[in-house]
Structure 1
Amino acid sequence: MIPQPRVSVITTGSELVPWDRTPTGPQIRDSNAPMLAALMRQYGVPFVKIDHAADTTDALAAAVARHSDADILLFTGGVSVGDYDLVPEVLQSLGARVVFHKVRQKPGKPLLFAVGDKNVFFGLPGNPLAAHFCCHRYVRPAVMRLRGERGPTDLVGKLTVPVLPKPGRTHFVLAEARWNDSEKEWQLTPSPGISSADIFSATEASCFIEIPAGREKLPPNTTVRFSFLSHAWESSQPGNHEESA
């Protein structure tokens, strides 16, 4: 029997309203909660608890208490550097140990990971595309480990077009991977330029390309590492699925 980790999602931000309500004034629909719940189902977690907390320390602490039975508790928003980004402070006040906060990567620089007595916490950015990436890159391996499964596999492929990465940080780029049977290699085509909130473009990609910090413009045929967005993509594709060095 495969263990089923208990996962809760807590969205933060007083401006958010549920996806099925019409926003007014400065309000915006919450797209992160249904997206993360869908990703959890993709990872093999059929039931996810969803909650919301306003931007106050009391509201956040109360939300954590309501989900104290979760093995993994995901926050979206509240982890950057604004006056209302209170998740790190609240977790520390509740006795959790912040293992890391902020990663030199794009997207998802504000990412947070903390450990409590009986659960772990991921603080994902409120930006939908960054939350989508961080969930795949960091939360998915944790879920798979709790389910007793092997983590995602990194592969290598070649760019079909030039890529100009952002300087100073490891850059992850959404892309489509296709197997070239004549060359016996993966060919990677990055997604066109998309905004940070354009989560719909992510549904058309099959992988993330990883470009190390410090790299300049990469010409076509440059070899890069990549990871599929789901095990279904990875297992259904032809080609060499051995781990890259």
Structure 2
Amino acid sequence: MISVEKAFERIVADAKPLTTERLPVAQTSGRVLAAPLAARRSQPGCDLSAMDGYAIRSAELTGDMAELAVAGESAAGAPFPGALTSGQAVRIFTGAAVPEGADQVIIQENVERRDDRIFTREAAQSGKNIRFMGIDFLDKQIVLDAGTFMTPKSIGLAASAGHSHLMVHRAPKVAILATGDELAPPEQKSFAPHETVNSTAPQIAALLTDAGAVCTCIGQAGDSLKSLQAAIKKAKAADILITLGGASVGDKDLMQQALSSEGMELGFWKVAMRPGKPLIFGQIGDMKVLGLPGNPVSAFVCALLFARPLVDQLMGRPSPMPTGVPLPLAADMPANGPRQHYVRARLIGIPGQRALDPAVDQDSSLLSVLSQSDGLIIRAPDAPAAKAGEFVPFLPF
């Protein structure tokens, strides 16, 4: 049995980002940029008006009433064709190109117009109400670094820089295999008392899909070596195989044997944590294998701590070990045992004065407690009793 830290290191530390693929920019949300992105143009490409008004030469404004002839107009997409000369102004609209020779825009509210002439007492201020060429970024400037996690805001920047497609790391393909003779699919019309609804597969699939993985539930296998072997063969095209159940030491816990018979090189088995002790990690060829416990809370905690960071690492995102943030306890907690304990807890109190309320019942089968929790209190091995008000690490989910 190894520590959580050692388990994390073995699972995540040597995982390298997957190969790259070229995707339309709008489809890259959640992906990681594989190379630096240089702008293909300056933004804006010329000086633009920030307001509706009149483009003028600031030298024309002396503090007294200035009178200028309107020589034409500049609209967004339809710039004034010539250069501004002495005594002239150009009607201009927001986003329109500032005519050559102009260096100030007077907002229309500060101008009186009579026919083709304007009158204003505006003070001279070169550059006022102008967005200068390249203030956002310049041609050939690196606008996004390699390793950038793409979000709607970075997608907008990439498109603005003139890119319709981006090179990103491929999303990991995750095969999820649920096991156990007692499992029944959620869509079954009715359930026998001895049956357990397969809730863990969709739960883990949702967790990893949110992290960017492409998840496929490859079915349910019974508690026989033949059934498990046949199901494992379906996952050979995956980057990660996640099995649910059969990882412990009972007579029906055949997962490790089945995986080994299909070529798995075992990395470790069992982690000094609760819930989640009977965790299997290994590799079949290039495919990472995580054998999670069958209890739904145990599986969720293991997926949160190990599977999601593994997905991050394969996508090119840095994935430090989840260590939590310090928050105060709302109630006393007893001393911890020899295994690191991940305690389900709610956040209570008002924003800025939050405290952690540990759930009374920490049974690893209770999904109702998990669904009502906001995260996990991390209790180190052999941690002493903690009093209300004491700060402890909290891992939100």
Normalising TM by the smaller chain, what interval?
Answer: 0.7 to 0.9
Cα separation, partners in 2 of 1:97 and 1:159, compared to 1, 3 Å: same
Shift in Å at residue 29 of structure 1? Answer: 1.5
Q: Pick from 269, 273, 288: which aligns with 1:101?
A: 269
Q: Which structure has the larger Rg over C-alpha atoms?
A: 2
After superposition, residues 1-245 of structure 1 pair within 5 angstroms as: 1=28, 2=31, 3-21=170-188, 22-24=190-192, 26-45=194-213, 47-151=215-319, 153-154=322-323, 155-177=325-347, 187-229=355-397
Shift in Å at residue 141 of structure 1? Answer: 0.4
In structure 1, what residue type is equivalent to 2:356? Answer: L
Q: Using the alignment, how far apart are the partners of 2:395 and 2:373 within structure 1?
A: 11
Q: Using the alignment, how far apart are the partners of 1:44 and 1:179 within structure 2?
A: 33
Counterpart secondary structure, 1:133: helix
Counterpart secondary structure, 2:172: coil
Question: 202-211 or 129-138, which moves further after superposition?
Answer: 202-211
- RMSD (Å), alpha carbons: 2.1
User: Does structure 1 conserve the Cα–Cα contact (< 8 Å) formed by 2:201 and 2:217?
Assistant: no
Shift in Å at residue 197 of structure 1? Answer: 1.7
User: Does structure 2 conserve the Cα–Cα contact (< 8 Å) formed by 1:174 and 1:205?
Assistant: yes
Aligned to 2:47: none
CA offsets 1:171-217 (integer angstroms, 9 cap, x no match): 1111234698767xx63222332432211221222221111111232
Shift in Å at residue 46 of structure 1? Answer: 5.0
User: Does structure 1 conserve the Cα–Cα contact (< 8 Å) formed by 2:346 and 2:375?
Assistant: yes
Counterpart secondary structure, 2:289: strand
Give the unaligned 5+ runs of structure 1.
230-245
Question: 18-27 or 29-38, which moves further after superposition?
Answer: 18-27
Counterpart secondary structure, 2:271: coil
Aligned to 2:161: none
Counterpart secondary structure, 2:297: helix
Counterpart secondary structure, 2:256: helix
Question: 111-120 or 152-161, which moves further after superposition?
Answer: 152-161
In structure 2, what residue type is equivalent to 1:191? Answer: A
Q: Using the alignment, how far apart are the partners of 1:8 and 1:222 within structure 2?
A: 41
Q: Using the alignment, how far apart are the partners of 1:182 and 1:108 within structure 2?
A: 32
Shift in Å at residue 166 of structure 1? Answer: 4.4
Counterpart secondary structure, 1:131: helix
Q: Using the alignment, how far apart are the partners of 2:358 and 2:194 within structure 1?
A: 33
Q: Using the alignment, how far apart are the partners of 1:77 and 1:61 within structure 2?
A: 14
Counterpart secondary structure, 1:14: coil
Shift in Å at residue 25 of structure 1? Answer: 5.0
User: Does structure 2 conserve the Cα–Cα contact (< 8 Å) formed by 1:156 and 1:226?
Assistant: yes
Question: 134-143 or 14-23, which moves further after superposition?
Answer: 14-23
User: Does structure 1 conserve the Cα–Cα contact (< 8 Å) formed by 2:312 and 2:318?
Assistant: yes
Counterpart secondary structure, 1:175: strand
User: Does structure 2 conserve the Cα–Cα contact (< 8 Å) formed by 1:5 and 1:45?
Assistant: yes
TM-score in terms of structure 1 length: 0.84
CA offsets 1:116-142 (integer angstroms, 9 cap, x no match): 212011111111111111111111100
Question: 129-138 or 199-208, which moves further after superposition?
Answer: 199-208
User: Does structure 2 conserve the Cα–Cα contact (< 8 Å) formed by 1:33 and 1:50?
Assistant: no
In structure 1, what residue type is equivalent to 2:341? Answer: H
Q: Using the alignment, how far apart are the partners of 1:148 and 1:100 within structure 2?
A: 24
Q: Using the alignment, how far apart are the partners of 2:259 and 2:282 within structure 1?
A: 8
In structure 1, what residue type is equivalent to 2:204? Answer: L
TM-score in terms of structure 2 length: 0.53
Identity %: 30
